[in-house]
Amino acid sequence: MHSGFEDKSREQDRGWDDRFGDFLTNLLFEEGLADSTLLALKNHLIAFNRWLLDTYGRPWDLVQPQDLREYLYATGLNLANSTLQARRWSLKRLYRWALEESIVSIHPNTFVLPVKGNKGKIQVKPPTQRQIKLLLNMPDLSCAEGIRDRAVLELIYATGMRASEILSIKIHEITPQKFLRVWGKCRKERLVVYGEHAQYWLEQYIAVRKEILLDGGHHVFATEKLFVSSGVHADYRYYQLRRMVKRYSQRCGLNLTPHTMRHAFATHMYEAGASLQFIQKLLGHSHLQTSTIYISNNTKNLKKILVNHHPRGEIYKSRTRFKHESIGNKFTT
């Protein structure tokens, strides 16, 4: 990790929030920013959060749209235009990331923080089924961490879950029924189902999970989270997940993130004929209403859709919307 934004005194700074470290790490991988830029952003986030606490008595994750407008007006009167633009950019990036990670529920566009000369976001083309198959075969299965990586990749592709949802799974939540109840954005509950491939690799990983903990000097009961690390922390962290996906994808000539794998899940399901309505339910998009009763009554239907329309489903056949090459359904070990 870059010490520029993870100094040991951060706990004593009133404006610091540990989630800022995750955000800055995300920026490091997403934008390739220099340490000096990350340090400046860190200081700005601390100052912004401290200002919110002092002015309104609420932290950054409980912000209201008018808070940001007031902050930029109150602190930006004597700033150069370039500095003010940088502050606007950093706040929009922070809240866009926080929305994706289910930390806040307000879209950053509601803050009305225009950035002059801001170019539209480039639409990233999701990987093909063949490219995903190559990616899934990248981990070294001769070691426990390689098996963990394979299980993580299989589960992301099998479910389209967000990175934060993957990392919050507890080990006792893995059952033979091959489904999970997760809480996504705005704490909305939904059902996530997965197939035989993901189940198989989860079983292989769980069998060696304690080896990873022991290699890191952790107690075998150090954490209840499913995915663990041999690093400083027993829990598998966001920056480790992102770095892992990036490393393996680069070996395939790609530049993927956990989020682009989520896109691949949705795209491949749609290409295979699944309706947008069911894809949206599986992804947990915020505009869909879900409830515990609805989820409970539709477990069988969701599983049927998965095995028919997911490229790694048991009875999947390439047949509908777009002409593409099918991949095999056999396990690759």
Q: Tell me which residues are annotated as active site.
A: 162, 185, 259, 262, 285, 294
Contact 233, 252 (CB under 8 A): no
What are 289's two structure tokens?
Answer: 């209403």
Residue type, 200: Y
Query: Going by DSSP bridges, is the β-strand pair 189-193/179-183 parallel, antiparallel, or unpaired?
Result: antiparallel
Alpha-carbon dihedral sign for residues 277, 281, 283, 288: positive
What are 316's two structure tokens?
Answer: 């999947």
Integer Cα distance of 328 and 331 in angstroms: 9
Contact 179, 195 (CB under 8 A): no
Q: What are phi and psi of 314, to 5 degrees?
A: -65, -35
Contact 158, 312 (CB under 8 A): yes
